[in-house]
Chain A
Amino acid sequence: MTRLRAVGLVSGWGAGVAALPADAPAAADGRRVIPVPRPALDGERFRRATRECLLGVAAVEAMLAEGGLTRDAIRGADTALLYVTAAAYGASNRLFVGAGGASTARTAGGLAEARRGSASATPAGGRGETRRGDASATPGGAPGEESREGRAGTLHFPYTAPSAVPAEVAIEYGLTGGYVILVGGARATIDAIWQAARLLAARRCRRALVLAVETFAECEDLWARGRWAARGPLVEAAACALLEGDGHVGYGPADGPAPLETLAVRRAGEILACAPLVAAALAREAGQPEARLTGEWRGRRAAVTLALPAAGTPALV
C-alpha cells in the first residue's frame, strides 16, 4: 500500500491543520478570500520569485518539518514531483496581462494596477531572467536595452506558466525525478496521487511529493463571477505530501464525497487542489490508520486510499 510519510500545510488560517477553524465559513465572517501572506523566505534565491512559488517551497518545508526529515531525504532523481493547481497561475497571468496591454498608455496603467492588486506577487526577475542561449528563450539583447514594459515582460513571462511553481520547488530541493503537472481542483489531486503511486509501483522513484498550491486574492473578481467552481470562502493554501510504498492506492471513480472530503471543506474552506492533502493530514491527526480520500472537480469525483503510519515512522524503503 502507498503510505503517507509526511504532510505539510500552510493556509490562510495559519500553519498546519492545528490552525484550521472548526467551521471555516463561520470563521470567514463574510470574507470571500482568506489570503496567505508572502512567505518569509530570505535570500537572493527568493528575492524575485512569485508568491505562489514561495508558497510551494513553504509547503515542502512544512512537510519536511512535520516528518522530521532533512532536505537530503528528498534530493535527487529518486524523488518524483507531482504538482496540482486550479488557480495558482492567476496572479502571474494577471500581472503579465496588466503589463502588456494593447497600447503603451494602457500598458503603464495596467502594470501599476496589477501591482496594486497584487501586493504580494512581486514581478519576477533574476530567476526568470534568461541566459543567453537558453533553449526555450534565446535573448538577443541585454535586459537593460529593453523598455520598462519589455523588462517586466521578459522577467515575468516564465512565471505565467503553471510549471513555474514546481520548477522553483525542484530547483530549491534538487528534485530530478519523474515530473507531472496537472491543472484542476481536488479531483486532479486524486489523479496526481494515483500518478505518484504508479511511479512508485514501477520503481521509477522511491518517494513522491504531491504538491498543491492555490491562490485567489489577485483574481478574486474572476472567482466571484465564476462561483460555480468554488463555494467559498476561498482560502489560499499550499500543501505537500510525501508518499512511499508499493504504489497501490485503489484509484477509481467515487459516487459521493468521503467523510474526510466533507471534513476538509468544513475545516479549511474552499482550497480546491489542496483539499485531499488537507484531508489526509486531518486523518492522520485523528490517528486513523488509513484514509480514503475523494476529490471532486467539474462534476467528476475520484477516490484513493493511503496508509497513514504515525508521524515520524521511519521509511521502509
Chain B
Amino acid sequence: MSAPVAVLAAGVATPLGLDLESFWSALVTGVDGTSGIERFAVADLRVGRGGEIKKITPLRGGSAPRCRASALLLKAADDLLGRAALTADPARIAVVVGTALGGVGELERALADAPGPRAAAAALYDSPAHALARRLGARGPVLTVSTACASGATALGIGADLLDEGAADLVVAGGYDILCRFVMRGFDALRSLTRERVRPFDRRRSGLLLGEAAGLVLLARERDARGRLGRLLGHATSSDGSHIAAPDPDGRGLEHALRAAMAAADVAPDDVDLVSAHGTGTILNDRIETGVLKRVLGPRAYRVPVNSIKGALGHTMGAAATLEAIMCLLAARDGVVPSTLGYEEPDPACDLDYVPREARHVRPRVAVSTSLGFGGCNAALVLEGGG
C-alpha cells in the first residue's frame, strides 16, 4: 500500500537486554529470558513465570515515569536515540505505537485507589504514546494502535503510510506492553499459560508465557535515508470475523493479510528467505500458522527457516511484532538467524524448518513476519535487510 520505507535504526527494552545489541546477542546465543515473576504477587496463579524485566536502569537525563509502560517505551527510545538522531522539524515527527494493554497497570491502580487527575489521565490506553512523544519532542501525529498482539506490526504499517502520505518526515513506530497482574490473571484464567517452557512448533508445546518489552524503529522515506538497517517493503492487516479470542481455525484471515502484504511488496514466494512466525507455542496457533505458510509460500515454505523468538522472550504482546521485525533486520545485517528456543521434538502437524537447537548462519534478504491477536486481528510485514 505504501512505497517501501527505510528503517534507519531500532531501540529495545526487553527481558534479554535493555539495548539492541544485548537483545540481539542473547537471541543469537539462545538465552532464555523467562523467569519467575518478582514484581507482583503470583502465588495464586497457576503460572508465575514470564519474560520479566528485573530492573529498568535510569533514563538518560531523568528518572523513569511511574507508569511502567511509559518507562519501557522511554527506555527503548533512549536506545533508539543513541543510534540515530531525529533530524526533522518536530512538527514533522510522528509517533505510532501499538499496545494490547496500554497503561493498564495505571488503570488498575486508578480503579483501586482514588487517583488524582494525572493518575486518572495515565489510565487511558494512549497515555504512554503521548509520554513518548513528549520525550522525543515530536509534535506531529501521535497514534495508538490496539490490534491486540498484532499491534506492533500494524503500527509499523501505519507509520509507513504516514511517510508515504507526506504527513510526516520521520516516524518513531513500534510497540510495547508490560507484565502486570491484570494480564497475568487474564491469561492464567484462560489456561493459555504453560507450566513448562515455551515450545513453539514442538510436539510437546503446551502454551505460552507472557513477557514485557518495548521495541521502536525509526522510519523515513527512502530518499531521505542515509544509512539504514533495512526496509519495510509491504504490510497488511485483516480481520478473522470468527471468534473473540481464538484465530480462525483455518487461518483464512492470516492468509489474507500475508498475501496482501507480499503483493504490496511485490514479493513472490521464492523471494522469501526467512519467516518470523507469531509462534506462540499454543497447540492451535502453531498448527494454523504452519498451514498458512504452506498455502502462501507453496514448496518454498519447506526451504526457508521459520523461527519464533517467543521461547526466549515470552509473548510480549504489543511489542512482539516489532521485536520480530527488528530480529529479521538484524539477521540480515549479521548473517545469522536465531533458533526457536524450546523447539526440540517435531510435530507431524508442524513440519517446516523451525531452526532447531542453534542459530543458523545464513543471510536472509527478504523476510516475512506474521502476527495474530485477540479479536481476530491479523497483520503481516515484509522486510528487507541491508543498507
Contact = CB atoms under 8 A, between A and B. Distances in A.
B372 interface: yes
Contacts of A128: 244-245
B124 A179 contact: no
A227 B121 CA distance: 9
Interface string B232-275: 00001111111111110000110010001000100000000000
A177 B126 contact: no
Nearest to A219: B111
Contacts of B256: 77, 176-177
Contacts of A164: 244, 374-375
A171 B141 CA distance: 31
Contacts of B240: 170, 176
Contacts of A59: none
Q: Which of A86, A87, A128, A136 has the most CB of B within 10 A?
A: A136
A135 B244 contact: no
Contacts of B187: 137, 157
A154 B158 contact: no
Contacts of B158: 180, 195
Nearest to B127: A298
Contacts of B238: 77, 176-179
A141 interface: yes
Interface string A154-186: 100111111110111011011111111111100
A300 B142 contact: yes
A25 to B, nearest CB: 21
A97 interface: yes
A300 B95 CA distance: 12
Nearest to B288: A135
A189 B311 CA distance: 37
A298 B140 CA distance: 12
Interface in A216-243: 222-223, 225-229
A161 B190 contact: no
Contacts of B41: 102
A253 B186 CA distance: 39
Interface size range of chain A in the complex: 35 or more
Interface stretch (A27-35, A196-204, A258-266, A278-286): A196-204
Nearest to B315: A136
Nearest to A300: B142
Given A153-B185, A161-B100, A178-B237, A191 B192 contact: no
Interface in B331-387: 372-378
Nearest to A158: B245
B322 interface: no
B142 A198 contact: no
Nearest to A86: B124
Contacts of A87: 124
B376 A162 contact: no
A160 B245 CA distance: 11
Contacts of B252: 176
Interface in A24-78: 77
Interface in A86-130: 86-87, 89-90, 93-94, 96-98, 100-102, 127-128, 130
A179 B377 contact: yes
B247 A135 contact: yes
Given A141-B191, A191-B143, A198 B182 contact: no
B246 A136 contact: yes
Contact of B182 (A96, A177, A202): A96
B161 interface: yes
B126 A183 contact: yes
Nearest to A198: B161
B221 to A, nearest CB: 16
A252 B91 CA distance: 12
B128 to A, nearest CB: 11
A195 B161 contact: yes
A138 B284 contact: yes
B166 to A, nearest CB: 9
Nearest to B247: A135
B344 to A, nearest CB: 19
A246 to B, nearest CB: 14
B1 to A, nearest CB: 4
A135 B121 contact: no
Contact of B239 (A150, A176, A222): A176
B111 A229 contact: no
Contact of B186 (A101, A153, A251): A153
Given A138-B283, A180-B145, A175 B185 contact: no
Contact of A183 (B108, B121, B146, B186): B146
Contact of A171 (B117, B161, B241, B374): B241
Contacts of A302: 141
A225 B117 contact: yes
A91 to B, nearest CB: 11
A128 B190 CA distance: 10
Contact of B147 (A102, A146, A163, A225): A163
Contacts of A253: 91, 140
B152 interface: no
A163 B186 contact: no
B125 A89 contact: yes
A153 B372 contact: no
A181 B242 CA distance: 17
A62 B340 CA distance: 48
A133 interface: yes
A254 to B, nearest CB: 12
15 contacts: A97-B108, A97-B112, A137-B282, A161-B146, A163-B147, A174-B241, A176-B238, A177-B238, A178-B236, A181-B147, A195-B158, A198-B1, A225-B115, A226-B121, A226-B124
Closest 8 pairs (CB-CB, A-B): A163-B375, A135-B285, A157-B186, A167-B375, A226-B120, A153-B189, A134-B246, A179-B239
Interface of A: 77, 81, 86-87, 89-90, 93-94, 96-98, 100-102, 127-128, 130-131, 133-141, 146, 150, 153-154, 157-164, 166-168, 170-171, 173-184, 188, 191, 194-195, 198-199, 202, 204, 222-223, 225-229, 251-253, 298, 300, 302
Given A135-B280, A138-B190, A222-B120, 11 more contacts: A94-B111, A96-B186, A130-B191, A134-B247, A136-B280, A153-B185, A171-B242, A178-B236, A204-B260, A222-B110, A225-B115
